[in-house]
Structure 1
Amino acid sequence: MPLVPTFATPSGFLGVTRREAAGGVSVAGIPLDLGTTNRAGARDGPAAIRRASRMLVDGAHPTTGVDPATLPLADVGDLAIALGDLAGSLARIEEQAAAHDHLVALGGEHGITLPLLRALARRVGGPLALVHFDAHGDTWPESFGQRFSHGQPFFHAIGEGLVDPRRMIQVGIRSPVDAATVAWTRERGVTVVSAMEVHEVGPAAVAARITEVVGAAPAYLSFDIDALDPAFAPGTGTPEVGGLATWQVQSILRRVGGLDWRGMDVVEVAPAYDVAEITALAAATVAWEYICRAG
């Protein structure tokens, strides 16, 4: 990338202008928020995350030594959705995601994870391990009569065999939830680490737990920005107090870089509610940490 002032960084994620990743990582925006249950606006997340990522282009990652500018990384733009049609949009997302070997998706709402997992599980040839950061479990069978809102992706992913629930771990969970949904999730073997537990045991212990649960299985990372406390990520549709700090997330992610990662998403950034771009920058940093992972 040419040497330009930070504010003049090209508009692609991390300033990337390549549109094809030859054997590398493709970054795609997915501007969908038809299935949100509280505040809308995550459709504007991809543009905000790309803009915030300009703060991360000055060189190599400080611990891995990886400079994204040297990687086969491309920003392929935004995936097409079916305007006003949630089911149609999920189908179109799945079809387009299947064209990419290794996809980093910028949401958009959390419902986009379901078609991404459908496409990836088919590519891998079996169920995936899943590392899920969130304030919410997203395993409700329905939300307000809707079966495919942003509260159901992992209910369906487990039911469809896209993920192995015994290789699935949720980190940062803390929202109100009905007992039946909690029981359903745990009975299927999902490991749940609450936000309070993260605070009490620390990032190193959480990273060790993630590594233990995932093992050598092909793994997917799904990061809902509301895993972070609203103090660090106010720009989201369903904020919950008591969440993780950005430093805790970075510490955990840097310890699990060697897992067999096959793709990831960062979702639920709603910039209309953001303050000084801190939510979008947090989301961009999560994706950057993933792209610069060790191993």
Structure 2
Amino acid sequence: MPVPVTFAAPHAFLGARPDDRGAAFCVAGVPLDIGTTNRAGTRDGPRAIRAAARMLTDGRHPETGADPTALDLSDLGEFEIALGDIPASLARIEEQAAGLNHLVALGGEHGITLPLLRALARRLGGPVGLVHFDAHLDTSEENFGQRFAHGSVFWHAITEGLVAPRRMIQIGIRAPAWPEMFDWTRGQGVTILSAQQVHESTPAAIAAQVREVVGEGPAYLSFDVDCLDPAFAPGTGTPEVGGLATWQAQGILRRLGGLDLRGADVVEVAPAFDVAEITALAAATVAWEYLCLQAAKR
């Protein structure tokens, strides 16, 4: 069967077959954005990411030759949420993620990571390592009185024992934060790499540090697009200047093939603030690079 031209590619992510929860790899949109603290709109992120992914359907990975479309891959569509209710939404997301073999989630705000980690830690029977790309620490105990806003996700993940903090690394951090947040996060054993440290290093060196911190156990990738500089990702709710370029993030991701990654999410795409699909394409490419890592193993 001939491959359709790019602009006529199927709407499912990478043309994956629909609604097969038994697939080895699943993609799902999680359109939650009621815990955002600045600009809302990430509920529309999954659709925008899928649309931009049409650029990734014509060919294999340029370095490894991996073909993610050869994976046993299904697009489950959008997870259900509880309108206007963050705790109930988190419960529904966890329930829908439970039992999936390997999930790549398209956000949605960063708060979706918490129920996804709950489901994964429960399935694996213990905490996982974490590779976290972000401009923000996301380790506040609460945001503006809300315990489950998108800036508190990793405080909960650590205190609930979902991640092993000494196997957790944050990449691209640069946003204003109280010194107590840095002290608490580092005090748990988390490794923090600022955006400036990334700029002064190389993707190969950063990836080597990631592999050293995360080690050989099961791990999870959480990629907030605001880790990228607004020049490369304007379509996000909490942009911060001085961030990573897309080539830096891509170069790091391409060198993580040795990790035992068991799931991933790409979050905080707000297409209403995007320009020419720049942000959506960056997010789609991150998900594609992740699936290429999985395909290369096979």
State TM-score, norm by structure 1: 0.98
Quote the residue 1:182 is aligned against. 182
CA distances 1:175-220 after superposition (whole Å, capped 9, x unpaired): 0000111100000000000000000011111101000001101000
Quote the residue 1:274 is aligned against. 274
Aligned AA (1:278): I
The answer to whether residue 104 in structure 2 is matched with residue 88 in structure 1 is: no
Deviation at 1:5, TM superposition (A): 1.4
Residue correspondence of structure 1 range 11-22 to structure 2 within 5 A: 11-20=11-20, 22=22
SS in 2 for 1:77: strand
The separation in 1 between residues aligned to 2:231 and 2:25, in whole angstroms, is 31
SS in 1 for 2:17: coil
The separation in 1 between residues aligned to 2:73 and 2:50, in whole angstroms, is 14
Residue correspondence of structure 1 range 198-209 to structure 2 within 5 A: 198-209=198-209
Native 8 Å contact 1:30 1:80 kept in 2: yes
SS in 1 for 2:122: helix
SS in 1 for 2:132: strand
Deviation at 1:71, TM superposition (A): 1.2
CA distances 1:58-115 after superposition (whole Å, capped 9, x unpaired): 0111112111221101101110001111111000000000031100000000000000
Native 8 Å contact 1:97 1:119 kept in 2: yes
Quote the residue 2:63 is aligned against. 63
CA distances 1:121-152 after superposition (whole Å, capped 9, x unpaired): 00111110000000000001111001100001
The separation in 2 between residues aligned to 1:235 and 1:18, in whole angstroms, is 27
The separation in 1 between residues aligned to 2:143 and 2:71, in whole angstroms, is 40
Native 8 Å contact 1:21 1:73 kept in 2: no
Quote the residue 2:237 is aligned against. 237
Native 8 Å contact 2:105 2:265 kept in 1: yes
Native 8 Å contact 1:226 1:233 kept in 2: yes
SS in 2 for 1:286: helix
Over 3 Å counting, the alpha-carbon distance change for 1:2 and 1:16 in structure 2 is: farther
SS in 1 for 2:212: helix
Quote the residue 2:154 is aligned against. 154
Over 3 Å counting, the alpha-carbon distance change for 1:123 and 1:2 in structure 2 is: farther
The separation in 1 between residues aligned to 2:35 and 2:23, in whole angstroms, is 33
Native 8 Å contact 1:136 1:174 kept in 2: yes
Q: Which moved more, 1:12-21 or 1:55-64?
A: 12-21
Quote the residue 2:10 is aligned against. 10
Native 8 Å contact 1:21 1:72 kept in 2: no
The separation in 1 between residues aligned to 2:78 and 2:258, in whole angstroms, is 28
Residue correspondence of structure 1 range 90-105 to structure 2 within 5 A: 90-105=90-105
Native 8 Å contact 2:22 2:101 kept in 1: no
Aligned AA (1:169): I
Quote the residue 1:111 is aligned against. 111
Native 8 Å contact 2:22 2:100 kept in 1: no
Q: Which moved more, 1:82-91 or 1:22-31?
A: 22-31
| 4+ residue segments displaced more than 3 Å | none
The separation in 1 between residues aligned to 2:71 and 2:44, in whole angstroms, is 27
Name stretches of at least 5 consecutive residues in structure 1 with no aligned partner: none
SS in 2 for 1:201: coil
SS in 1 for 2:229: coil
Deviation at 1:18, TM superposition (A): 3.4
Quote the residue 2:217 is aligned against. 217
Quote the residue 1:249 is aligned against. 249
Deviation at 1:2, TM superposition (A): 4.4
The separation in 2 between residues aligned to 1:158 and 1:60, in whole angstroms, is 37
Native 8 Å contact 2:9 2:15 kept in 1: yes
Native 8 Å contact 1:36 1:150 kept in 2: yes
Native 8 Å contact 1:166 1:190 kept in 2: yes
SS in 1 for 2:254: helix
Quote the residue 1:30 is aligned against. 30
Aligned AA (2:113): T
Aligned AA (1:96): Q
SS in 1 for 2:101: coil
Native 8 Å contact 2:79 2:96 kept in 1: yes
Aligned AA (2:289): E
Deviation at 1:229, TM superposition (A): 0.3
